[in-house]
């Protein structure tokens, strides 16, 4: 038997419905993240049927798959795009995250050439340090966004529980809401969405501590796996086995925990260190 990945679409729908139910209670737009399944159209449709109002993916090739499958919701790039791929982003995505002025200006120029609108979610760093505009740069970015005619800022967002492991809290998400108000004032126009992270933010909904004003979440892990790795926990009411990997075991035996002989570099160029746990 060849290694096989088995996906239960009904459980994906059920998990999505459960997350969507929690989000709807707080007026939050649920965006499904499909990067974990390489933009699978089948999984995407299950997410949409479960309640996702849009889809996000980190690979342009996956966005192309979703577009060619005619998914009935907007699709967005889940990361900051490279300058070399902006033409593809415009072709296959309804929107993208942004955090650099050069990227915004180039997108607006390319969109003008193609007579095509593009939504952008301005990422702001509130502590995790993965990506995003520092809060004191807001005025400079607002000046650039006000000059854009084809690029439209439809939201402000942040990444948490990622590079720095900084968890979402009422304090840092309230700061994000405040920055949204500042951006609206500088743009003199509404900024509809405040995207307060993803699966790691769901516990704030469970504890009824999500700050008012957070109205958008980008969720993949909870839907696909029923868990939250940032707190090493499984989510209540969610299927944990919607995705299973099956393979044959080709060798199974007891051996010492420490290799025998002179140790050099392993297959990856690193010199491994082993803890002696005995024979097991």
Question: For 93-127, what is each residue's pLDDT tens digit?
Answer: 999 999 999 999 999 999 999 999 999 999 999 99
Active centre residues (catalytic):
35
Please give the structure tokens belonging to residue 219.
């969720």
Q: Average model confidence (pLDDT) for the chain?
A: 96
Which segment of 101-115, 176-190, 261-275 scores lowest on mean pLDDT? Answer: 261-275
pLDDT for 190 beyond 90:
yes
Picking from 4, 20, 104, the residue whose alpha carbon sits closest to that of residue 54 is 20
Tell me the CB-side half-sphere exposure of residue 36, using CA atoms within 13 A. 19
pLDDT for 24 beyond 80:
yes
Per the rule left: phi > 0, alpha: psi between -120 and 50, beta: everything else, 95 is beta
Please give the structure tokens belonging to residue 34.
């499909």
Q: In the prediction, which pLDDT does 126 show?
A: 96
Q: CATH number of 4-245: 3.10.580.10, 3.20.20.10, 3.40.50.620, 3.30.9.10?
A: 3.20.20.10
Q: What is the pTM of this model?
A: 0.92
Contacting residues for 49 by C-beta, under 8 A, at least 6 apart: 13, 16
CA 129 from chain centre, in angstroms, equals 15
Picking from 159, 133, 158, the residue whose alpha carbon sits closest to that of residue 230 is 159
Contacting residues for 55 by C-beta, under 8 A, at least 6 apart: 31, 32, 33, 34, 44, 47, 48, 66, 71, 73, 74, 75, 76
Query: What percent of the chain lies above the pLDDT cut of 70?
Result: 100
CA atoms of 200 and 267, how far apart (whole Å): 34
């Amino acid at each position: 038997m060849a290694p096989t990945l088995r996906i239960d679409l009904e459980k994906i729908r059920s998990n999505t419905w459960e997350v969507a139910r929690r989000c709807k209670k707080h007026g939050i737009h649920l965006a499904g993240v499909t990067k974990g399944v390489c933009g699978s159209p089948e999984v995407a449709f299950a997410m949409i049927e479960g309640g996702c109002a849009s889809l996000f993916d980190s690979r342009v090739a996956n966005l192309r798959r979703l577009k060619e499958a005619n998914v009935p919701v907007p699709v967005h790039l889940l990361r900051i795009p490279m300058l070399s791929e902006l033409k593809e982003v415009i072709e296959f995505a309804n929107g993208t995250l942004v955090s650099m002025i050069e990227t915004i200006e180039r997108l607006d120029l390319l969109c003008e050439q193609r007579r095509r609108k593009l939504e952008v979610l301005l990422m702001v760093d509130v502590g995790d340090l993965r990506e995003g505009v520092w809060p004191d740069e807001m005025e400079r970015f607002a000046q650039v966004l006000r000059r854009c005619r084809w690029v439209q800022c439809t939201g402000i967002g942040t990444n948490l529980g990622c590079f720095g492991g900084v968890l979402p809290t009422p304090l840092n998400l309230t700061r994000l809401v405040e920055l949204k108000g500042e951006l609206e004032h500088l743009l003199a126009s509404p900024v509809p969405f405040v995207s307060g992270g993803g699966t790691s933010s769901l516990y704030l909904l469970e504890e009824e501590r999500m700050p008012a004003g957070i109205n958008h979440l980008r969720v993949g892990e909870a839907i696909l796996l029923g868990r939250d790795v940032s707190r090493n926990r499984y989510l209540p009411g969610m299927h944990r086995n919607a995705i299973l990997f099956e393979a044959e075991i080709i060798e199974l035996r007891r051996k010492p925990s420490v290799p025998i002989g002179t140790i050099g570099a392993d297959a990856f160029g690193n010199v491994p260190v082993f803890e002696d746990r005995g024979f097991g």
